[in-house]
């Protein structure tokens, strides 16, 4: 009887060990977040453009308004991650073409139309790993190129301005293979103020502020 019990115990132990070994072999390897990656993203942006006139010399203003600037954007990104236990530190840069634009009929300068045609950023990323999922926050430098058209009373004018500001946001990234990830990200950007002196109202300056919000989806390949 003792021999039967001993043999049964040894058989159960051996079977359990074999099962555990098979489970270890069959379990998928943890995703390695460290390394360089490159990818592409597509999204939609919406924002607010605030402007007013300021008389040259006195600075007096007799007009102010705000309007929306919305549109599709898309581009490429490049970055590097360094994983430390469950945390990921990284840096990422991107550049995008943008179709965001909007316009307003001003009282003195005629129709004012603003457009962001190119924008980019250089940001830090801090994330927390949950299995194949990375929850992250991001923030840093934002740069955009603006084109503004003025059209009023038979006179037209245009300007071109590049402004640097800041951006912050958060996102979720998911590794669906050892080399490929997908993501969704929200960002808020403040590009600061650019100032025009349009021919349609030549005695006045037009300081203009642009702030945007964007949602992007993207895919990345890790080397």
142-174 pLDDT per residue, tens: 999 999 999 998 999 999 999 999 999 999 999
Positions of the chain with pLDDT under 70: 1-29
List of E strands, the chain: 35-52, 54-55, 64-84, 87-98, 101-105, 111-130, 133-152, 155-175, 180-196, 204-222
Give this prediction's pTM.
0.84
User: What pLDDT does 30 receive?
Assistant: 76
What pLDDT does residue 28 have? 43
pLDDT at 29: 58
Cα separation, 149 vs 158, in Å, equals: 4
Structure confidence at residue 73 (pLDDT): 98
């Amino acid at each position: 009887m003792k021999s039967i019990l001993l043999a049964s115990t040894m058989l159960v132990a051996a079977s359990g060990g074999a099962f555990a070994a098979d489970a270890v072999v069959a379990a998928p390897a943890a995703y390695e977040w460290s390394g360089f990656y490159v990818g592409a993203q597509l999204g939609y942006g919406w924002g607010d453009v605030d402007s007013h006139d300021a008389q040259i010399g006195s600075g007096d203003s007799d007009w102010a308004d705000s309007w929306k600037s919305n549109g599709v954007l898309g581009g490429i990104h490049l970055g590097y991650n360094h994983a430390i236990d469950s945390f990921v530190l990284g840096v990422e840069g991107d550049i995008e073409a943008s179709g965001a634009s909007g316009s307003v009929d001003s009282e003195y300068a005629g129709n004012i139309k603003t457009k962001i045609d190119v924008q980019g950023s250089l940001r830090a990323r801090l994330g927390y790993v949950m299995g194949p999922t990375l929850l992250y926050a991001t923030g840093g430098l934002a740069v955009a190129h603006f084109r503004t058209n003025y059209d009023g009373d038979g006179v037209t004018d245009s300007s071109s301005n590049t402004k640097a500001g800041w951006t912050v946001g958060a996102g979720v990234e998911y590794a669906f293979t050892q080399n490929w990830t997908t993501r969704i990200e929200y960002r808020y950007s403040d590009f600061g103020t650019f100032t025009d002196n349009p021919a349609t109202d030549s005695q006045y300056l037009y300081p203009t502020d642009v702030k945007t919000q964007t949602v992007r989806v993207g895919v990345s390949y890790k080397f």
